[in-house]
Amino acid sequence: MTSEVNTRNGLHFLVQDHLSTSASGAHHFRLMDPDGHHYFGKFQPGTTLGKLRYQNETMAFTHVQDDELEGIVDYVDRDDATHGVILELVEGTDLYAAIEKLLALPVEEKIALLSTVAHHLEGLHSGNIAHGDISLRNVMLKKSYENELHQGTHRRITSKDVLLVDLALASVNSISPYWFFIEQNHGLSGSWIYMPPEMLHSKMSSPAGDMYSFGVLAYILLYGKEPFPMEYGIDHVAYLVKKSYHLPSPPPLDFNGVEELVFHLLNPESRHRPSARETKEKLYEAL
Ligand SMILES: Nc1ncnc2c1ncn2[C@@H]1O[C@H](COP(=O)(O)OP(=O)(O)OP(=O)(O)O)[C@@H](O)[C@H]1O
Ligand SMILES: [Mg+2]
């Protein structure tokens, strides 16, 4: 990466810091525009995969109506075949990075946090968008709440403190060019432990698939461990499908119906999973 980035629409940014590198080879940077405002840039050099990934993300963003999702600023398509997207910078942390603090929260605060994620999923699903990659790393807490978390004050979280990020695997009306490419060239993608079993066959993101991934996230947050043993490694999803798995009864939480809800979210049959709206309402009722 050079120290300057020019976008398709002629916007100009300076690269400030390299933030991280993802498993898929994407590089994440903090950028600055000529007025001194900061942005978040993700770039993948020289691959068709990178191109499709960010085109897919751009397409998904043009359909998003949920104001509380960070906005896309522009798509980058450079002569050296580097592809990327530039987004509004979220000052904060993802749930994965904050997991120790989050696990230490009282159960009702964890349930409140889950209800905010369900709220955002409801917003996406009502616009016919499936996120496709719900995981601890793709849910962000804004700085305002992160500070509270570090101070241990436990203010009740609201949906304004939370954002979903990473629409690279999203699909609009069940169509994702990126997933078609993945199917032909790479088998499956995404974060294995969150992947709904039906994705083994469908290779498409779907609202019901998001609810399964949300169930995995909820299980981790509420019980401090992953719902299924991972000794099967990358064949995990195949294992779940073949064994028509049984989730061990979750230990009671003393919160009206929440363990049952998590159990239903992890149902191998996608049609039996509660929707984002039902999930949000059940979580509100429990509080
Ligand atoms: N707009 C944003 N502002 C600040 N940080 C962000 C933003 N979007 C994402 N992040 C952080 O950067 C990480 C990587 O972003 P994202 O998941 O969108 O990229 P990715 O290239 O698809 O990565 P991966 O392949 O690891 O999923 C996220 O886990 C999150 O911590
Ligand atoms: Mg991600």
pLDDT in tens, 39-55: 999 998 877 777 888 88
For CATH 1.10.510.10, list the domain ranges present in the chain.
92-286
222 closest CA partner among 186, 182, 260: 260
pLDDT (average), residues 87-108 = 94
What is the distance of C-alpha 128 from the center of its chain?
16
- How high is the pLDDT of residue 211? 97
The closest residue, in CA terms, to atom 15 on ligand 1 is 166
pLDDT at 234 over 70: no
Higher pLDDT, 69 or 255: 255
pLDDT (average), residues 166-187 = 68
Ligand 2 centroid – CA 267 distance (Å): 24
Higher pLDDT, 11 or 200: 11
For CATH 3.30.200.20, list the domain ranges present in the chain.
4-88
50 closest CA partner among 178, 164, 172, 174: 178
Q: Tell me which architecture the domain covering 92-286 has in CATH.
A: Orthogonal Bundle (1.10)
From 72, 82, 138, the mutation candidate for ligand 1 (largest count of ligand atoms within 8 A of CB) is: 138
- How high is the pLDDT of residue 3? 87
CATH number for the region 4-88 comes to 3.30.200.20
Q: Please give the Cα distance from 151 to 156 (Å, whole number).
A: 14
Q: Please give the Cα distance from 149 to 143 (Å, whole number).
A: 10
- How high is the pLDDT of residue 108? 93
- Look up residue 136 and give its two tokens: 């601890």
The closest residue, in CA terms, to atom 12 on ligand 1 is 28
pLDDT at 238 over 70: no
Q: Please identify which residue in the block is written with the tokens 């078609």.
A: 180
Single-letter amino acid code for the residue at 96: Y
pLDDT (average), residues 228-257 = 64
Q: What is the rounded average pLDDT for all residues in the chain?
A: 84
Q: Please identify which residue in the block is written with the tokens 């790393």.
A: 137
Answer whether 69's CB lies under 8 Å from 163's CB.
yes
Q: Is 261 in the pocket of ligand 1 (CB under 6 A)?
A: no
pLDDT (average), residues 159-167 = 93
**Would you state the torsion angle of the CA atoms of residues 140, 141, 144, 149, taken in this order, to the nearest 10 degrees?**
-150
Q: Is 85 in the pocket of ligand 1 (CB under 6 A)?
A: no
Answer whether 178's CB lies under 8 Å from 51's CB.
no
Neighbours of 68 (CB within 10 A): 16
Spell out the SS3 assignment of the chain. CCCEEECCCCCEEEEEEEEEECCCCCEEEEEECCCCCEEEEEEEECCHHHHHHHHHHHHHHHHCCCCCCCCEEEEEECCCCEEEEEEECCCEEECCCCHHHHHCCCHHHHHHHHHHHHHHHHHHHHCCEECCCCCHHHEEEEHHHHHHHHHCCCCCCCHHHEEECCCCCCEECCECHHHHHHHHHCCCCCCHHHCCCCHHHHCCCCHHHHHHHHHHHHHHHHHCCCCCCCCCHHHHHHHHHHCCCCCCCCCCCCCCCHHHHHHHHCCCCHHHCCCHHHHHHHHHHHC
pLDDT band, very low/low/confident/very high, at 195 (cuts 50, 70, 90): confident
The closest residue, in CA terms, to atom 23 on ligand 1 is 22
Q: Is 191 in the pocket of ligand 1 (CB under 6 A)?
A: no
pLDDT (average), residues 124-138 = 92
Is the full-model pTM beyond 0.75? yes
- How high is the pLDDT of residue 236? 61
Q: Please give the Cα distance from 4 to 20 (Å, whole number).
A: 18
Q: Which ligand is nearest to the CA of 165?
A: 1
The closest residue, in CA terms, to atom 24 on ligand 1 is 22
Q: Which ligand is nearest to the CA of 30?
A: 1
- Look up residue 171 and give its two tokens: 């699909």
pLDDT (average), residues 25-46 = 90
Cβ-count burial of 245 within 10 angstroms (0-12 exposed, 13-18 middle, 19+ buried)? Answer: middle
Q: Can you tell me which atom of ligand 1 is nearest the CA of 44?
A: 21
